[in-house]
Every structure is written in C-alpha cells, then in structure tokens.
Amino acid sequence: MLTVPNLSVEKKYNSIAVLTSGGDAPGMNAALRAVVRYGIAQGCEVYGVLKGYSGLLEGQIHPMNASSVANIIQRGGTILKTDRCLPFYKKAVRQEAANLLVRKGIEALIVIGGDGSFTGAHLMEKETGFPTIGVPGTIDNDIFGTDDTIGFDTAVNTAIDAIDRIRDTASSHDRIFLVEVMGRSSGFIAINTGIGGGAETVIVPEQMETIASICKTIERGIRRGKSSSIIVVAEGPKPGLAQRVADGLAKKNYNPKVCILGHTQRGGQPTASDRLLASVLGASAVATILSGTSNCMVGVQKNKVTLVPFKEIIGTKKHLSKESMELARVLAT
Ligand code: ADP
C-alpha cells in the first residue's frame, strides 16, 4: 500500500494555481481536491484554472475554497475541464502565460496531466523561471518515473468488468471475442486487463502477434477443450486494430466478434486505489512546491512518493516489463 510521506512544508509561496490538462482520467478530481484542501491548510490562496493551458491563456483563473471541491472525490473526469492547447507549443505564448500568472499574484503552478502537459510546464519554467510541478494523471500509465498514474487502475477495472460480461456471451455462443482497449504506444492497460481478465491472448504495441501465432493459440485452446476465447488488443498507433485482426482471423475461417471499449475506459468513478493515489500525490505536490522544489513530477515508486525532474521524464519511454508479458502468456495456456 502507498505510504503517506511526511508532508511538512517550509512555505516559500502564498498563492498557487492548479490546472488539469491533456486527456482526462478518473481521479483527477480527487487530486484537485487534495491540492485545494492541502494548500488552504497551509494558509495559501489556491486558484483553479479552467480548461488547461487554453483557459490559462484566456485568464480563466478562479479562487477556490474547501467547498469548491466538496463532493467530487468520487466523480470521474475533471470539474476544471481539460483541453489540448496548440498555442502553448510556442515559446512566446508560454511567456505570456507566466506573465499572466505573475500579474494575478500567483507564485507557482500545479499541472495534473500526462507527459505532454509536463513538457509544457517544464518549458515554461525553464524559459521564464515560473515554478511548476506535475501530478501524473493519465489512464495509460505511460509516464516514465512513476509506477502508477492516476486513472490507470480505474481504466483497468473498467476493462476487466467489460471482459467478465463479454465472457458470458462468448462462452454461451462458443465465440472468439477481440476486445480492443486503449493504448496507442504502450500496452499497460492491455497487459493488466489480460492478466486480470484471464484473456487467452494479449496483443500489445511492444510485442505484436502474427495472425498465424494467434491461430496457434486458439487451436491449442480448442485442443484443451476451450470453446471460446477472449483476445485483448491494445488499439496501437492506428485504432481499429481489433477489427484488422478479426479480418485476418476471418481469412483463416474463424468468425470472431469485435468489441471496442473506447472512451468507456476514461469515465466512471475512480477506484479506491486511484482516489488514494490522487489524494497523496495532490497533497505531496503542494508540500513540495510550497517548500521551493519545482520543475519535477511527484510520482510513486515501490509504494513511496518520489520526485523526478521533468527533464528525466520527458522523451523517456516507460517500458512494459517482459515479466508481465510473459506472465500473461503463461497464464493463458
Ligand atoms: P497529455 O498531457 O495527456 O500527454 P497532450 O500530449 O495532449 O496530453 O498534451 C497536453 C497539452 O500540453 C498540449 O495540448 C499542449 O498544450 C501541452 N504540450 C504538449 N506537448 C508540448 C510541448 N512539446 N511543448 C509545449 N507544450 C506542450
């Protein structure tokens, strides 16, 4: 279980802002609640920025109090809303954003998001000196430097719940089902869903399977008396991979069904584990930045909160462990 660190603060700032950016993830609200309440407890003014970097540039910055974050810990999405903001890729625009925060009397910024959002925060701090800190919020769990990201556990639970339901119909009809989960460049959701959902095969971007090898697995299952199979497919760089695999299997005289879970994996109530992670990381981000450490992410490694400089995270790929891929394969046989 995640250890709650010493969160004592040597307060260097009195006014902070928080925003959510990039893809939304269940648990972002729990992180926001922790930031606001922990910040207020330290005697800070806390401002919420609407719609990520877009709202920041538009000056959509509002004071928050303990009641602004009441009754949100259990809600998916983000009450601050989120956005993708192309202008923020420009240096002059990031300078403008920092100037705007300074003019409002805000001294530091907490960014809840993924590695893209952290790149924006890192560049803004490097170029302007405005202190920023990141809280990892993405269902994909693909951020280097942290074992877990907020939203991942919920997304995996959602996908496993879907697989349990699909398995009922798959076994009633003796069918093969291809279940496509999110994961464009990483197979974290797919592999954990595959292991936890008891899938017969897991296809991840890190280790693509050929149609011939998938057929072999299906045949082996049939020889063992299996009449149905669940194949979990990470969407990969070009979503729709499950359908392409289904087309390949159809050419080998199978008749698989395809179920694309899509955005159902993003929504819904965060799990207990995501709420706890979000609460601890949100409060840790406040304690860290108020004490004067910035340009980094608060993450978790081996159940302990860690600080990882943004420059170590950005552009570094987090690899799916060979062990988990092997375990998924062995348990499926
Ligand atoms: P995520 O944070 O979930 O990875 P994105 O990659 O879409 O999501 O990034 C969210 C936002 O962060 C972008 O819309 C942009 O405003 C900002 N951002 C991403 N990459 C950069 C970059 N290289 N330079 C500046 N800002 C960036």
pLDDT digits (tens, 9 = 90+) for 46-56: 999 999 999 99
- Is there an atom of ligand 1 within 6 Å of 145 CB? no
**Residue owning tokens 């590695």:** 115
Which uninterrupted H or E stretch holds 41?
Answer: helix 28-41
Among protein residues, the one whose CA lies closest to atom 27 of ligand 1: 120
Among protein residues, the one whose CA lies closest to atom 8 of ligand 1: 22
Confidence band of 238 (pLDDT split at 50, 70, 90)? confident
**Quick one: tokens of 253?**
């005289």
Rounded to an integer, what distance in angstroms lies between the CA atom of residue 190 and that of residue 206? 11
Rounded to an integer, what distance in angstroms lies between the CA atom of residue 217 and that of residue 38? 51
pLDDT score, position 239: 81
Q: Are 154 and 139 in contact (CB under 8 A)?
A: yes
Query: What φ, ψ does residue 214 adopt, rounded to 5°?
Result: -65, -40
pLDDT digits (tens, 9 = 90+) for 286-309: 999 999 999 999 999 999 999 999
- Rounded to 5°, angle at Cα 303 from 330 and 307: 120
Please choose from 117, 122, 135 the residue to mutate so as to test ligand 1's pocket, defined by most ligand atoms within 8 A of CB. 117
pLDDT digits (tens, 9 = 90+) for 122-157: 999 999 999 999 999 999 999 999 999 999 999 999
pLDDT digits (tens, 9 = 90+) for 166-208: 999 999 999 999 999 999 989 999 999 999 999 999 999 988 8
**Quick one: tokens of 33?**
């609640």
pTM: 0.97
- Is there an atom of ligand 1 within 6 Å of 47 CB? no
pLDDT digits (tens, 9 = 90+) for 21-66: 999 999 999 999 999 999 999 999 999 999 999 999 999 999 999 9
Q: What percent of the chain has pLDDT over 90?
A: 92
Q: What percent of the chain has pLDDT over 70?
A: 100
Query: What φ, ψ does residue 303 adopt, rounded to 5°?
Result: 70, 15
Q: Whole-number mean pLDDT of the chain?
A: 96
- Is there an atom of ligand 1 within 6 Å of 123 CB? yes
Task: Let me know if 304 is exposed, middle or buried by CB neighbors in 10 A (0-12, 13-18, 19+).
Answer: exposed
Q: Which residues contact 188 (CB under 8 A, 6 or more apart)?
A: 140, 141, 142, 152, 320
Domain ranges in the chain? 15-151+270-313, 155-267
Q: For residue 115, which atom of ligand 1 is closest to its CA?
A: 4
- Is there an atom of ligand 1 within 6 Å of 271 CB? no
pLDDT score, position 207: 87
pLDDT score, position 333: 75
Name the CATH architecture for the domain at 15-151+270-313. 3-Layer(aba) Sandwich (3.40)
- Catalytically active residues are 140
pLDDT score, position 29: 98
Res. 229: pLDDT tops 90:
yes
The superfamily CATH assigns to domain 155-267 is Phosphofructokinase domain (3.40.50.460)
